[in-house]
Structure 1
Amino acid sequence: MNVWLPTSPCTPQGCAGHHGAVAGRARAAVRLTAGLAVVACGVLLAPLAALLGRLLGAAVRHRLTRWWSRAVLRAFGVRVRVVGVPHGLRGALVVANHISWLDIPLIAAVLPGRMLAKSEVRSWPVLGPLAARGGTLFVERDRLRTLPATVAAMAGALRDGARVVVFPEGSTWCGRERGRFRPAAFQAALDAGVAVQPVRITFSPTGAAAFVGDDPLLVSLWRVATAGRLTAEIRLLPPILPGSRPDRRSLALAAQFAVASDRANRPSLSVHQCVSSRPAAASSVRTPS
């Protein structure tokens, strides 16, 4: 593993699992089938959505993205709670903590934009073509020399008025603890002179949604489908306006503090204290810094 890649101590054995109501196998099978069917429809209809977006404008494309994303979450039985309202920013870097593959449709259901993802996602079955057609920006995380070009592409998209969505922790954490925000992506916001929109994601119960370590995607899909009363909350925090921070490191720190600020009202327990006493045998590496 490249020593420069972000990691987390979370593992499927220690952090993922059911800690509440569980749906029956028949209901879970229906959810899984419905969820995969909605995703497949998204792949098939993505070219049409892109064409409509070019002909009728970004607002139409965003409306279709929100509809599809909500349909994915509903099919998997995930309830969504939105706290706060979008600030109507033209071109903004949306940054959020990262827990699950569910984070992607969750953010897209509220703040659709161009995602930043690791280059490996492009080759994933079904999801890879969908990501590419949806305007995803890809970064080769193990080749640092490509990072300036990726930042430049992000800045260009931001200048054109697009939202760019980034998970700056660079890997998934189970939600009970969070990682530090890597500063690289924040340079794009500085270069483009746009605001940063921090977003806080939480799931209840936490373990069912967590997609960490070497957790296979199909196992995670089934765990989500079998979860009872799984609720996702997305909290839109006050934006950090252009010019309020002098450099990318202070900007990343400000966004990280905003996303983690609710921890002041909760006990500070480590992942391993509250879930498992097993040592972390694998690292979680899902998305780029």
Structure 2
Amino acid sequence: MSGWLPTAPCTPDGCSTHHGAPAGPLVAVGRLLAGITLVVAGVSLTPLVALLSGATRDRLTRRWARTVLRCFGLRVSIRFAGEPEPGLRTGVLVVANHISWLDIPLIAAVFPGRMLAKSEIRRWPVMGAMAARGGTLFVERERLRALPGTVRTLAAALSAGSRVIVFPEACTWCGRDHGRFTSAVFQSALDAGTAVRPVRITYRAADGRPSGAPSFVGDDTLPASLWRVVAAGGLTAEITVLPLIPAGRHTDRRALAHAARTAMVQGATAGAAAVRSTTAQDAEWLMAAQTAVASDSANLPASSVHQCVNSIPAPASSARTPS
């Protein structure tokens, strides 16, 4: 692994603690089969869903993503820091902290869009096909020379009206601490003249304490992580939607990255008066009036934006991308 790539000190043994009673083995197996079945169904239906209008496609994606999380044994909680803004006529860059592979369906449950992911994911069984068909933008993290092209690709997608989702920590952390936000991806928002939407992801046990069961860090493997999730009892996937950072507020990518990370970190300690919690179902009407894209075609898959050629398999689970 290249020395310039971001890394996290988190390990499966040190970070996977879960406070709460475990699910029984039969329940865990049932969850695993149900979750995998629904993911496979999503892969199969992606070409048909891509033909639908933008609003219909987003609504179905949100509901599918919530159902996937429920099948794997997680409740979904959406929190709003302030009131949602009215619909946007341009694309938006959604940035979040990165803990687990579960982050992808969790964000899709609120903000369906085009993910930026390491090129290795395209080679994963089932999930790789789903990501590619869903319009994921892949980055070759080992090739520093590919970075300018990736930034141009992101800017083009944003300019076309797409909602683009990025994890700027560039590797997975367990949630107890956070990495710095790499600034390169924020240049795409500056180039496209679009707003940035920070969100914060937290996984909690039944008693409200953060849970390490979903953490996908270090040399963790996907099968081990899947089993740890389905075997945990009382898990809640929580996403806090933070206020938009309007286009033009920051003209330097490092200042914009710092502002987004500060908002995300402060989202962990936001007071009850500033944050409203709701269920995923109750949030549907709020999200429908928010984050509209400029055209129905903006979030459709496009093979021309896939930046992965001869990707290098990753032995570790951390999803690193260049700064």
TM-score, normalised with respect to structure 1: 0.90
Matched-pair identity in %: 61
Cα deviation, residue 283, structure 1: 7.4
Distance 1:263 1:46, change over 3 A: closer
Cα deviation, residue 63, structure 1: 1.5
RMSD across aligned positions (CA) = 1.7
Counterpart position of 1:36: 36
Count of residue pairs the alignment pairs up: 270
Task: Find the aligned partners of 1:3 and 1:228 in 2 and give their Cα distance.
Answer: 38
Q: Bigger CA drift: 17-26 or 241-250?
A: 17-26
Are 2:251 and 1:218 aligned? no
Distance 1:283 1:71, change over 3 A: closer
Are 2:76 and 1:80 aligned? yes
SS at match of 2:43: helix
Cα deviation, residue 20, structure 1: 1.7
Are 2:162 and 1:162 aligned? yes
Counterpart position of 1:126: 126
Is residue 69–residue 105 contact of structure 2 (8 Å, CA) maintained in 1? yes
Distance 1:7 1:27, change over 3 A: same
Task: Find the aligned partners of 2:50 and 2:93 in 1 and give their Cα distance.
Answer: 22
Task: Find the aligned partners of 1:86 and 1:284 in 2 and give their Cα distance.
Answer: 34
Query: Counterpart amino acid of 2:110?
Result: V
Is there any run of 5+ residues in structure 1 with no aligned partner, and where? Answer: 267-281
Task: Find the aligned partners of 1:66 and 1:97 in 2 and give their Cα distance.
Answer: 20
Counterpart position of 1:190: 190
Query: Counterpart amino acid of 1:58?
Result: G
Counterpart position of 1:110: 110
Task: Find the aligned partners of 1:230 and 1:185 in 2 and give their Cα distance.
Answer: 31
Are 2:94 and 1:94 aligned? yes
Query: Counterpart amino acid of 2:161?
Result: G
Cα deviation, residue 236, structure 1: 0.5
Task: Find the aligned partners of 2:32 and 2:191 in 1 and give their Cα distance.
Answer: 42
Task: Find the aligned partners of 2:18 and 2:63 in 1 and give their Cα distance.
Answer: 28
Is residue 200–residue 267 contact of structure 2 (8 Å, CA) maintained in 1? no
Task: Find the aligned partners of 2:98 and 2:21 in 1 and give their Cα distance.
Answer: 24
Is residue 172–residue 318 contact of structure 2 (8 Å, CA) maintained in 1? yes
Task: Find the aligned partners of 2:34 and 2:251 in 1 and give their Cα distance.
Answer: 47
Counterpart position of 1:244: 249
Are 2:71 and 1:66 aligned? no
Is residue 203–residue 231 contact of structure 1 (8 Å, CA) maintained in 2? yes
Deviations 1:65-106 (A, max 9, x none): 112111100101101110116533331000000011110000
Task: Find the aligned partners of 2:74 and 2:269 in 1 and give their Cα distance.
Answer: 27
Distance 1:265 1:130, change over 3 A: closer
Is residue 221–residue 317 contact of structure 2 (8 Å, CA) maintained in 1? no
Task: Find the aligned partners of 1:81 and 1:287 in 2 and give their Cα distance.
Answer: 27
Query: Counterpart amino acid of 1:39?
Result: V
Counterpart position of 1:209: 214
Distance 1:70 1:287, change over 3 A: farther
Task: Find the aligned partners of 1:10 and 1:204 in 2 and give their Cα distance.
Answer: 18
SS at match of 2:184: coil
Is residue 93–residue 166 contact of structure 2 (8 Å, CA) maintained in 1? yes
Counterpart position of 2:266: 261
Cα deviation, residue 217, structure 1: 0.4
Q: Bigger CA drift: 220-229 or 77-86?
A: 77-86
Cα deviation, residue 61, structure 1: 1.7
Task: Find the aligned partners of 2:168 and 2:270 in 1 and give their Cα distance.
Answer: 24
Task: Find the aligned partners of 2:2 and 2:235 in 1 and give their Cα distance.
Answer: 34
SS at match of 1:207: coil
Are 2:304 and 1:288 aligned? no
Cα deviation, residue 288, structure 1: 2.0
Deviations 1:167-205 (A, max 9, x none): 000001000111110001000000000000000111113
Query: Counterpart amino acid of 1:81?
Result: S
Are 2:26 and 1:26 aligned? yes
Task: Find the aligned partners of 1:138 and 1:262 in 2 and give their Cα distance.
Answer: 28
Is residue 201–residue 239 contact of structure 2 (8 Å, CA) maintained in 1? yes
Task: Find the aligned partners of 1:51 and 1:133 in 2 and give their Cα distance.
Answer: 12
Is there any run of 5+ residues in structure 2 with no aligned partner, and where? Answer: 206-210, 272-314
SS at match of 1:10: coil
Counterpart position of 2:5: 5
SS at match of 1:130: helix
